[in-house]
Amino acid sequence: MSDFDLFSITEEHKELREAVRALADDKIAPHAAEVDERSEFPKAAHDALVATDFHAPHIGESYGGAGADAVATCIVIEEVARACASSSLIPAVNKLGTMPLILGASEDVKQRYLPAVASGEAMFSYGLSEREAGSDTANMRTRAEADGDDWILNGQKSWITNAGVSRYYTVMAVTDPDGKRGANVSAFVVHADDPGFTLGEPERKLGIKGSPTRELYFDDMRIPGDRLVGGIGEGLKIALRTLDHTRVTIGAQAVGIAQGALDHAVAYVKERKQFGSAVADFQGIRFMLADMAMKLEAARQMVYVAAAKSERFDSDLPFYGAAAKCYASDAAMEITTDAVQLLGGSGYVKDFPLERMMRDAKITQIYEGTNQIQRLVMARQLLQG
């Protein structure tokens, strides 16, 4: 493969985009405003995605999944986010929750859990962050203490996406309190019906209101030893490798939100008339649209390059994944804000979807590592050569 052949969009990818866009326009977009207004999980979107195998497209065929490559998975998330950001977190978080298993679990653990997600029977969330361990993940306080072949889990996790609707959770916990920081964490699969496992109240959020975000609490919760993901002490390494791959999907979500905002803004300024002309006829407006489209396309290309590197497990994925997530989310915030501006007063009210898209875009600069952390990741990669 030449240096210039970083990724390619195949005919299959183009057909996939058309199929997901048609589904999103028909089954997801009509419910997006209501999902946001009521802060309700998008059940109609979930059912539509499951019916078409778009809910967890990344899972391999050997586990009953669609076996989509990383670029294809990004296209699915992007097109769903174009219609409804909350709904795009169904495929995105199913990948986030299961990626630790794909990267580090035994074949037995993979066979036990991945088929249920692939079939749509279950969803999978990811538990890394805590109240005092957000960007500083190694500072986590959740503990898992060995008890024979089992583990006793105590602690909490914060900001858990799709908590309460997921059946399974990949949870990181300190298994050797006296061990080397960062090398003393292990990963486990937690079941929603495990005794001692409870949920906090749903967070009241600025955006992505249809995707529930809650805390997880573990109170002397017994976990069988065969739910360990990877080896003892490998949890944080697996968690950070997971984020290298899934930050790319957040970039895809950001691109989708921005594309939806640009599409609505273009349609509006072509129809809206002021001073006897369509708003789109004014040069200042055209310059804004050109800049929005330019930033969007640059972000899309960065995401696809990073996705291709994710598929190939390239050694420079940490840089490209961080760069794609950082650039795309910053672009999405700028583009959605400009889209609101282009609609004027109409952009500021709920009669149009732009204010929702602007609110939804903000979280892409924060979760799976703030964009300040992404810049630290990129700089570290550069300095390490």
CATH of 237-383, one of 3.20.20.70, 1.20.140.10, 3.30.70.380, 3.60.20.10: 1.20.140.10
Confidence of residue 175 (pLDDT cuts 50, 70, 90): very high
Q: Do 253 and 88 contact (CB within 8 A), yes or no?
A: yes
Task: Provide CB contacts within 8 A for 72, sequence distance 6+.
Answer: 12, 13, 16, 57
How many CB atoms within 10 Å of residue 340?
Answer: 20
* pLDDT given for residue 2 in this prediction: 37
Task: Tell me how far apart the alpha carbons of residues 322 and 373 are, in angstroms, rounded to a whole number.
Answer: 9
Q: How confident is the model over 26-50, as a mean pLDDT?
A: 98
Q: How confident is the model over 327-350, as a mean pLDDT?
A: 98
5: pLDDT strictly greater than 60: no
230: pLDDT strictly greater than 60: yes
Name the residue among 336, 358, 341 with its Cα closest to residue 269: 341
118: pLDDT strictly greater than 80: yes
142: pLDDT strictly greater than 70: yes
Q: Which residues pair with 124 in a beta bridge?
A: 168
Q: Do 129 and 198 contact (CB within 8 A), yes or no?
A: no
Whole-number percent of the chain with pLDDT over 70: 98
What does the block give as tokens for 129?
Answer: 């962050």
Please provide residue 212's backbone torsions phi and psi, each rounded to the nearest 5 degrees: -65, 140
Q: Is 153 exposed, middle or buried (0-12, 13-18, 19+ CB in 10 A)?
A: buried
Task: Tell me how far apart the alpha carbons of residues 248 and 58 are, in angstroms, rounded to a whole number.
Answer: 13
279: pLDDT strictly greater than 60: yes
Name the residue among 233, 240, 126 with its Cα closest to residue 176: 233
Taking CA atoms, 334 is separated from 101, 259, 339, 358, in Å, by 35, 12, 9, 9
* pLDDT given for residue 1 in this prediction: 34
* pLDDT given for residue 235 in this prediction: 97
* pLDDT given for residue 209 in this prediction: 98
Mean pLDDT for all residues in the chain: 96
Q: How confident is the model over 37-62, as a mean pLDDT?
A: 98
Whole-number percent of the chain with pLDDT over 90: 95
What does the block give as tokens for 142?
Answer: 């959740």
Q: How confident is the model over 106-128, as a mean pLDDT?
A: 98
4: pLDDT strictly greater than 70: no
Confidence of residue 6 (pLDDT cuts 50, 70, 90): low
The strand ranges marked E within 87-241 are 124-127, 143-147, 150-161, 168-174, 185-191, 197-199, 213-223, 228-229
Tell me the per-residue pLDDT of 353-366, one tens digit each, with 9 for 90 and over.
Answer: 999 999 999 999 99
Q: How confident is the model over 212-238, as a mean pLDDT?
A: 98
Is 130 strand, coil or helix?
Answer: strand
Backbone torsion region of residue 162, taken as left when φ is above 0, otherwise alpha when ψ lies between -120 and 50, otherwise beta: left
pTM score of the predicted model: 0.96
Instruction: Say if domain 11-121 classifies as CATH 1.10.540.10.
Output: yes
Tell me the per-residue pLDDT of 58-109, one tens digit each, with 9 for 90 and over.
Answer: 999 999 999 999 999 999 999 999 999 999 999 999 999 999 999 999 999 9
Tell me the CA end-to-end span of the chain in Å, nearest whole number. 22
Q: Is 21 exposed, middle or buried (0-12, 13-18, 19+ CB in 10 A)?
A: middle
Helices (H), the chain: 11-23, 29-38, 43-51, 70-83, 85-104, 107-119, 235-271, 283-312, 317-343, 354-363, 371-383
* pLDDT given for residue 3 in this prediction: 42
Q: What share of the chain is helix, strand, coil (3-state, %, to 5)?
A: 55, 15, 30
* pLDDT given for residue 8 in this prediction: 80
Task: Tell me how far apart the alpha carbons of residues 53 and 49 are, in angstroms, rounded to a whole number.
Answer: 6
Residue scoring higher pLDDT (1 or 63): 63
Task: Tell me how far apart the alpha carbons of residues 331 and 334 are, in angstroms, rounded to a whole number.
Answer: 5
Please provide residue 260's backbone torsions phi and psi, each rounded to the nearest 5 degrees: -60, -40
Q: How confident is the model over 262-288, as a mean pLDDT?
A: 96
Q: Which fold has domain 125-233?
A: Butyryl-CoA Dehydrogenase, subunit A; domain 2 (2.40.110)
The catalytic residue positions are 368
Domain boundaries, the chain: 11-121, 125-233, 237-383
